[in-house]
Structure formats: C-alpha cells, structure tokens
Amino acid sequence: MIVALVVVAAVVVLVVVGAVAWREHRHFVDAEESRRRDDELHRRHGDEVAESEARLRLSLDAITQGVVMADAEGNVLYLNSYARQFTEARHGEALVEAAVAELLAEAAQGGVAEREVELFGPPRRCLFVSAMPLKLEGRNYGSVALIDDITEPQRLDAMRRDFVANISHELRTPMGALSLLAETLATETDPEVASRLAMRVQAEAIRLSDIMDDLLELSRIESDEASERAPVAIQHVISDALSRARPTAEEKDVPIETALPALDLMVQADRRQLTSAVFNLLENAVKYSEATCPVRVMTRLEGDWVEVEVRDQGYGIPLRHQERIFERFYQVDQSRERTDGGVGLGLAIVRHVATNHGGEIRVESTEGEGSTFTLAVPIGAQS
C-alpha cells in the first residue's frame, strides 16, 4: 500500500515537474522564434533601406545637374557624380567648389542663395549654383546645393539676340534708303533725275526682297530637317541651279562652265534643298569674281558620296575667315558685300542643307586666286 502511494506520488511529482519543464521549454522556444522573426524583419528592413538608398544614389548620379547635400552645420555629406567633377578640381573648377561651400553656408542660415560662376576654360563654361535649406515640418535637415551648366542656353540666347539685331540692321538700311529716295522723288521735277531715283528705289526694293527670300529659305530649311527624301538626279539639281544663277552671271560677264558625268548620279535627297545649296554656291562664285573669270561646276562620285564642286578664280577668302563664313550673317568684307547685295545667309543655307542630308561642305581658298567649295552628300539608300 505504502509502495503504491509512493509510486503515485512519484508519478504526480514527475508529471508536475515535466509540465513545468515543458512550459519553460515552450517559453524558451517562443522567445527564440520571436527573436528570429525580429532579426529577419530588421534584416529585411535594412535591405530595403540599403536598396532604396542605392536606387536614390544611382538616380542622382544619372542626372546632368550637380547635387551637393550638407548637414545643418554645412558639412558636405553627399555629392552626386556630376558635382564630383568640381571637387577633383583643377584650375577654374575650384571656383565652383568654393561657391558651393559659400552658398551652402548661406542656405544653412535659412535663406535661398544663388550665383553664376564663369569658368574661362577652355572651353568657356558658365555654371549656375543655387542652394536652399532642407526643412520639413519645422525640422532642419541641412541644405542642398544644385549646379547647372547654362553655357548652351546662354549661347542660344545670345545667338537669338544677335539674329534679331542683325535682321533689324539689315532691313533698316534698305528701308532707310527707300524712305529717303521716296522723299526726294516726291519733289523732283527733272524727269531724268526722277527716273534715276526710281531705278534706285527698285534696286533697294529688290535688295529687301532678296533678304526676305534668304531669311525665309533659311528658316524653311532649318525646320525642314526631316523632309521627304526621294531619288534625285544630281544633273537636274545642277541645271536648275544654273538657270537661276545664269542671269546674274551673264549680267556680270562671268562664264559658267560645267563638267558633268555622262551617267546620272542619283542621291536620296530633297531636290529643292540641294538646288538651293548649289545655287548659293554658284551665286557666290559669280558675285565674288571679276568679269570674264570663269566659274566651273563639276560633279563626281567618291565611294558612297556624290560631290558637287564649284570653283572660281575670284577674290578668294583669307584663311582666318574660312571657319566663320558658314555662320549666319558673317561677311568677310562688309563694305564690298553690301554693294554686292549679300547679307551673309547664303553659306548658312548651304551648311544647313549639307547637315540635313548627313553630308558636309568644305572650302579651299587662296586670297587673290579663287575658291573651291565642295558639297558632299551620301548617295543614301537607292531604290
């Protein structure tokens, strides 16, 4: 009996101890499980933070604007790759780094600060640096500076202003002449003088209309970059351009000779544009030659390119001007060109046509001996 009681008691004790141990074990397992889950969550959270930070850094490195972030004390914490070029600074670029530091310090005081920094290069560059505080719901997160390269927008703006100024100037001269001539004509009683004045009125009116034609042609060609291309026989282009240039050539007694191959040379092109380019080259060759000095136009195939060459034995172009003659309104000798009626748009038109066709325009010239202009265009896909 006693033995049975002892056995029962032992079993009870074992069960109780077992249950307690089991509960302890469960607690331990649960705690372990929850720690593991917390660790996992932390790890995942950490991965996500690292991932979005990498994404942010890569995005900031991809933009063509400098970004520099600083803490509330103005200490630089981050630079994107565009901004880094100014910290590995040589020469002038150090100016940008200095401007960034100063503007960040100003922004740390709570205001927006900005400045243009000019680097004299070469190449000359102009940068716009601005800085502002980073604040959210009253909390100060430091400041950020942005660096923009404004060289190109500034260049375009200057070009636009020059263009408008040049047009106004070019138009004002014949307009002024017209008004003066009309005034004199109104009171002129001598029919012979009146007729001379009327002829000058006509000449100025033609000059005005030539300027307008050149302007319209240039603007049309500039906006016509992707115009329809069709197979064009270069011989046709030359003969169209010749019939436009011949009247002036005959008037000036400048003979035009041609050397065209027997076979048609075909190019994928805009016929009107090509004709305009060749006409401008011919017109210049005639305009800048003395009477009886011949102008020669020839075409040839060079690999996959068709070349049109216009050669004259005229005044020639000094070497220092040869780079610039393709700019709008550029003229080598303003006094001579004015009497010849040019405005400096012809070669700008030619260059534009060449670029529109994936081609190029070259010049070789010797002062006093003459010039050779070569317009080269790829033949393009033949159909």
We find the least distance from the C-beta atom of residue 168 to ligand ADP, in angstroms, to be 17
Residues 209-238 that bind ligand ADP (CB under 6 A): none
Residues 10-29 that bind ligand ADP (CB under 6 A): none
Regarding 297 and contact with ligand ADP (CB under 6 A), the answer is no
Regarding 312 and contact with ligand ADP (CB under 6 A), the answer is yes
Q: Is the peptide bond before 122 cis (omega within 30 degrees of 0)?
A: yes
Regarding 288 and contact with ligand ADP (CB under 6 A), the answer is yes
Give the integer Cα–Cα distance in Å for 342 and 287. 9
Single residue of 83, 117, 285, 375 touching ligand ADP by CB under 6 A = 285
Regarding 284 and contact with ligand ADP (CB under 6 A), the answer is yes
Give the integer Cα–Cα distance in Å for 6 and 3. 5
Binding residues for ligand ADP, rule CB under 6 A, total: 22
Regarding 174 and contact with ligand ADP (CB under 6 A), the answer is no
We find the least distance from the C-beta atom of residue 283 to ligand ADP, in angstroms, to be 7
Give the integer Cα–Cα distance in Å for 345 and 218. 8
The answer to whether 143 touches 131, Cβ cutoff 8 Å, is: yes
Of 81, 87, 118, 119, the closest CA to residue 100 belongs to: 87
Nearer to ligand ADP, 97 or 309 (CB): 309
The answer to whether 225 touches 264, Cβ cutoff 8 Å, is: no
Question: Which one-letter DSSP state was computed for residue 265?
Answer: P
Nearer to ligand ADP, 119 or 343 (CB): 343
Ramachandran quadrant class, 229 (left: phi over 0; alpha: psi -120 to 50; beta: rest): beta
* Contacts (Cβ under 8 Å, ≥6 apart) of 101: 74, 76
We find the least distance from the C-beta atom of residue 118 to ligand ADP, in angstroms, to be 31
Regarding 374 and contact with ligand ADP (CB under 6 A), the answer is no
We find the least distance from the C-beta atom of residue 303 to ligand ADP, in angstroms, to be 26
Q: What is the 3-state secondary structure (H, E, C) of 275-337?
A: HHHHHHHHHHHHHCCCCCCCEEEEEEEECCEEEEEEECCCCCCCHHHHCCCCCCCCCCCHHHH
Contact string (CB under 6 A) for ligand ADP, positions 318-337, x = contact: -------x----xxxx---x
Residue ranges in contact with ligand ADP by CB under 6 A: 280, 284-285, 288, 312, 314-315, 317, 325, 330-333, 337, 342-348, 371
